Amino acid sequence: MNAHLTGLIAAPFTPMHADGSINSALIPSYYAFLKQNGVTGAFICGSTGEGVSLTMPEKKEVAEAWAQSTKNDPDFKVMMFLGGTCITDCIDLAKHAREIGLYAVSFTSPFYFKPANIEMLAQCCISIAEQVPNMPFYYYHIPVLTGVGFSMFELVKALDGRLPNFAGIKYTHEDFMDFQSCLNYKNGKYDMLWGRDENMLSALAVGAKGAVGSTFNYAAPLYYEIIDAFNSNEMEKASQLQQKSIDMIRLLGKYGGISVGKSYMKLVDMDCGAFRLPIKNMTVEQFEEFKYDVEALGFEAFRSVTAGVIG
């Protein structure tokens, strides 16, 4: 349960048809595309995957498509995001993920009725994870969306020794002191997966080895260049490459937020459709302006490639 994942784990978009229904038929090609670009796993139905906007049957459909596509590839780890509001639904999804052979499950804090303290959050984690004792369980820390900003160092301490399948944390926040404390807890016992693509170089500097991110879907080569430059102690080059990542991510803010990721996917020939309400999508006119801005970034030099992917 204490395996430490390395490299880039993509947070895939959930493919949609034009009418907003799930396009699970695209997932085999999606997996092949990620694999071709060196991605080592997928964190499915998370924020990027619109998990909170999917029905229970839809989440299971997506999970089954990923399980079927990756069943002969034990090196590609698929982690299912369970949600965070309804504990019973999370348990149901966790059991389903185990039955279809996914690698791990992940859970974030309840965000409508919020836990009062770390102990209540720990009890939520335990109540779900103990139902799938043979699967690694990751907590997903993303306080910008959940509004729950407890110290993850305190959560690690609260779960240590009480939850044998607690594997670590997907850490999508900017508190490097907290992250590093978790990373170094008991000589690095737990797997700490970095979740802020725009700060990956900083996370590498404090010891991160694995990362989960949405921009790895369409710009994986850029991040492997950052990792290689860091490992070679070419810090000026690594900083310049990280700035390319930041400039790319700034376009998300310019054109409307998380939905812009699916526009990037269109530019790498992996059309995942649009986002569901309440997320705003680009207009046709905005997409044309967006393409111009992306070209000005030099995107073609570091984008993920699609050559040879079979649909």
Residues sharing a CB contact under 8 Å with residue 153, sequence separation 6 or more, in sequence order: 178, 181, 182, 185
Backbone angles phi, psi at 65, to 5 degrees: -65, -40
What are the angstrom distances between the C-alpha of 124 and each of 71, 76, 128?
30, 28, 7
pTM value is 0.95
**What 8-state DSSP symbol labels residue 53?**
G
CATH H-level superfamily of 7-301: Aldolase class I (3.20.20.70)
Q: Under the phi-then-psi rule, with left for phi > 0, alpha for psi from -120 to 50, and beta for the rest, what region is 187?
A: left
Residue length, the chain?
Answer: 311
DSSP H helices in the chain = 27-36, 56-70, 87-100, 118-129, 143-146, 152-159, 176-184, 200-206, 216-231, 235-255, 260-267, 284-296
What was the pLDDT predicted at 307?
Answer: 62
Catalytic positions = 140, 170
What was the pLDDT predicted at 308?
Answer: 56
Please tell me the distance from the alpha carbon of residue 197 to that of residue 31, in angstroms, as a whole number: 20
Residues sharing a CB contact under 8 Å with residue 49, sequence separation 6 or more, in sequence order: 11, 12, 13, 14, 43, 62, 81
Q: What is the full per-residue pLDDT of the chain (311 aa) written as tens digits?
A: 789 999 999 999 999 999 999 999 999 999 999 999 999 999 999 999 999 999 999 999 999 999 999 999 999 999 999 998 999 999 999 999 999 999 999 999 999 999 999 999 999 999 999 999 999 999 999 999 999 999 999 999 999 999 999 999 999 999 999 999 999 999 999 999 999 999 999 999 999 999 999 999 999 999 999 999 999 999 999 999 999 999 999 999 999 999 999 999 999 999 999 999 999 999 999 999 999 999 999 999 999 998 654 44
What was the pLDDT predicted at 1?
Answer: 74
What was the pLDDT predicted at 175?
Answer: 97
